[in-house]
Amino acid sequence: MSLLPTGEAMGDVVERAISVDAEISSLVGKYLTFALGEGRYGVHISKIREIVKMMPVTAVPGTCSYVQGVINLRGKILPIVDLRAKFGLPLVKVNERSCIIVVEAHVLGKANLIGTIVDCVQEVSNFQAKQLAPAPQYGLGRDNDFILGMARGQDERVIVLLNIEKALADPRITSIVPASLGTMFS
């Protein structure tokens, strides 16, 4: 008895391998990497608009737990999301290394600038296919569908690559800034 797949089973194996190769190829590129506690994460550089030091955030009553409030960034009002809270990680006090990464995310078909609080920014990494792996296939819900894949950093640590648009695809985030207010101070 052979343990090697034959016929249709071999075709399924080849099809899966081709699919994984295509998935990994789509992940190749530059990512801004940052820390949330001991975890390392990356967002494709094309989604990053800027990095700013922490500034006072104005709380908006009635928002979900991970929306910290809003900031005025050079005349533009931006919602601020604490990624620790969004990902269900333990919360910590903001310190001198904490910062806000401003990302562009399409929510309900509209481009939005959203600030995300992270513990610290690390570097821009250019990941090649040999450093990448597809997203893990665990769980049955949508809780992890914002994970694009995994990368191996220079220090051999695992970096979780995020689809930031899916991670922030909650209309409750952008609805706290009415369209007329977004550029009110410019």
Amino acid at 106: H
* CATH 3.40.50.720 describes domain 7-182: no
For position 175, what pLDDT does the model report?
A: 82
Q: What is the pLDDT of residues 71-126, one digit of tens each?
A: 999 999 999 999 999 999 999 999 999 999 999 988 778 889 999 999 999 999 99
For position 179, what pLDDT does the model report?
A: 57
1 has pLDDT over 90: no
Q: What is the pLDDT of residues 19-41, one digit of tens each?
A: 557 778 889 999 999 999 999 99
Using CA atoms in the order 39, 40, 41, 42, what is the torsion angle rounded to 10 degrees?
Answer: 180
For position 10, what pLDDT does the model report?
A: 55
| Distance between start and end Cα atoms, the chain | 74
Domain boundaries, the chain: 7-182
For position 185, what pLDDT does the model report?
A: 46
Q: What is the pLDDT of residues 128-169, one digit of tens each?
A: 999 999 888 765 455 678 999 999 998 889 999 999 999 998
For position 2, what pLDDT does the model report?
A: 52
Kindly give the pairing relationship between strand 120-127 and strand 110-118: unpaired
